[in-house]
Homo-oligomer: A and B are copies of this chain.
Amino acid sequence: MARSETSPATAESMSRQQREISVSEFFLKNRHLLGFDNPRKALLTAVKEAVDNSLDACEEAGILPELSVEITQVAEKRFRVEVTDNGPGIMRQQVPRIFAKLLYGSKFHRLRMSRGQQGIGISAAGMYGQLTTGTATRILSKVPRAKQAHHIEVQIDTRKNTPTILKDVETEWAPQFPRQNADGSCAAPAVYPHGTAVMIEMEAQYIRGRLSVDEFLRQCLIANPHLQLHFRVNLLNKEVETEDGKVAPLVEGQWVSWVRLADKLPTAPLEIKPHPHGVELGMLMQMLRDTESRTIRSALSEDFSRVSSATALQICERAGVDPKANPRRIANREIETLFKAVAETKLMRPPTDCLSPIGEELIAAGLAKEVQADFVTAVTRDPTVYRGNPFQVEVGLAYAKPGDDETLGAEEPVRLVRYANRVPLLYMAGACAINKAIAGVNWRNYGLTQPRGALPVGPVVLLVHIASVWVPFTSESKEAIAHYPEIIREIAFCVQECGRRLSVHLSRRHRDAEIERKKSYIEKYIPHLALGLKGILDFGDKEEGRVVTNLRTMLERTHLET
């Protein structure tokens, strides 16, 4: 029953309580920020972080990705998540920090589109597993040149945010992952020649539905048609909960496989340097202090994108700063004038081959596979910039005739599928810039109904993808995109273009229906007309038939010309 009583504090007594907070402790206490606020979401987040890492690694190494995802229930509320890839593997000495240290990674310090960017995700999943079950994260990895794989088990020392290694041995690679069913009924993945497997045991809940692992993987396949995927769920109870609380029987314990649709990797995005117009004054000071260049002029042209040596000279002259001055010794006041001169200098927009969009064709194909659609369209906008960061928006729209696709209600809000850097975003739709942009468009212009300030209503799937070297998420769990005005505007433009095309389709369909209606109406009277003519003009049956044919042809022609 220990309690601490408090008497008024003083500066001295407060001083003794001040201490450093490790980033692991911080996120352990704030784990809802990382997507671990409840057992269902925790399962999804863990799968997502592992899949993101695997896809990034495969693409960077130029390998067509093949992944196995397995979820095994080990107790009522306890699951083991295993994700195995055919990627390049991870060097032994890097494994502990990659999997058991928050804020460690290769993607944060560069400007290049990738799924991961923070160096938090997979370690956070391991930390959550450790917190809820006391177990360690198990990693198996084999690099191509090595004969054996290394098997490492780590936990996080949350006080210090450092890995504690519990096991570190060499082992066989393949046998650890029997990927064949006992009855061989299902296409099972081959044993990969190299790759990484990660296993985390955690408190979790497996529920099917809109926010499930199944849905995440399904959406993943749409945005990553080059992905080959195998998925298996093993449950203690052979039934499974779904979102609306019902319990449906499940064929579980079987591998389900998706063969890749595209046999080519997406174009590899390139790394770029920061664009001067996206760099704040304090950052410019820092960059000049850290530069390896010997003169201001070369620092400007070497460390930034879109600054040629001639432009650098021009900036120095405009600022009245000696272009040969040592950038590490220049006064802050001079950097301020440089900063102003940079802002006043016209520069090309940042290069955009740091981005790798899905492309209109593959988006349309993905949607067509998903929906019983009457109309599908997709638009990939040109890249543009927010806060100096290049980004690009793509939108796909699929419209089903009411009743054609039973998953789409004509009276329900459109189904929205959101992606950032090819990763599906399932949670926190309400807080996302994508929702805000779509709700801000006037959909009545395009033939859909829309409650004020909300998503439009209709049998429509909208797919929105934002690709950027740095996606500004509203939280570390990367579920929603922050409301930067430049981003919202770009999404709105892109969505509007799709909306216009939909409206053309709908009005053409409307016109066609109208014609069809008239035509069938007139057609009904042709036989009677022919019969009348037969009586009046004393035609034979043959001539009556010819009149009917001629009238039909006339009708046809007239309406084709309308």
Q: Is A109 a contact of B19 with CB atoms below 8 Å?
A: yes
Is residue A91 contacting chain B, with contact meaning CB distance below 8 A?
Answer: yes
Shortest A366–chain B CB gap in Å is 26
Binding site of A, secondary structure by majority: helix, strand, loop or mixed?
Answer: loop
Interface residues in A294-344 by Cβ distance below 8 A to B read 301-308, 332, 335-336
Say if the beta carbon of A90 comes within 8 Å of chain B: yes
Are A20 and B61 interface neighbours, CB within 8 A? no
Q: Which residues of B contact A19 (CB under 8 A)?
A: 104-106, 109
Residues of B within 8 A of A105 (CB): 18-19, 21
Cα A60 to Cα B8 in complex, Å, equals 6
Tell me, rounded to whole Å, the shortest Cβ–Cβ distance linking A156 to chain B.
Answer: 10
Chain B residues with CB under 8 Å of A10's CB are 61, 88, 143-144
Asked if A33 is at the interface of the complex by the 8 Å CB criterion, the answer is yes
Do the beta carbons of A301 and B1 come within 8 Å of each other? yes
B21 engages A271 (CB within 8 Å): no
Of B1, B11, B62, B482, the residue contacting A89 (CB under 8 A) is B11
- CB-defined contacts of A132 to chain B, threshold 8 Å: 280-282
Complex Cα spacing A119 to B130, Å: 25
Check A448 for interface membership: any CB of B closer than 8 A. no
**Contacts A26-B103, A104-B21, A134-B281: A2 and B302 contacting too (C-beta < 8 A)?**
yes
Give every chain B residue within 8 A of A60 (Cβ-Cβ). 6, 8-9, 14
Contact with B along A466-484 (1 / 0, CB 8 A): 0000101111100000111
A interface residues with partner B (beta carbon < 8 Å): 1-6, 8-12, 14-15, 17-23, 25-26, 29-30, 32-33, 37, 57, 60-62, 88-91, 93-94, 97-98, 101, 103-106, 108-110, 112, 118-119, 130-134, 143-144, 158, 203, 268, 270-273, 280-283, 285-286, 301-308, 332, 335-336, 351, 428, 430-431, 470, 472-476, 482-484
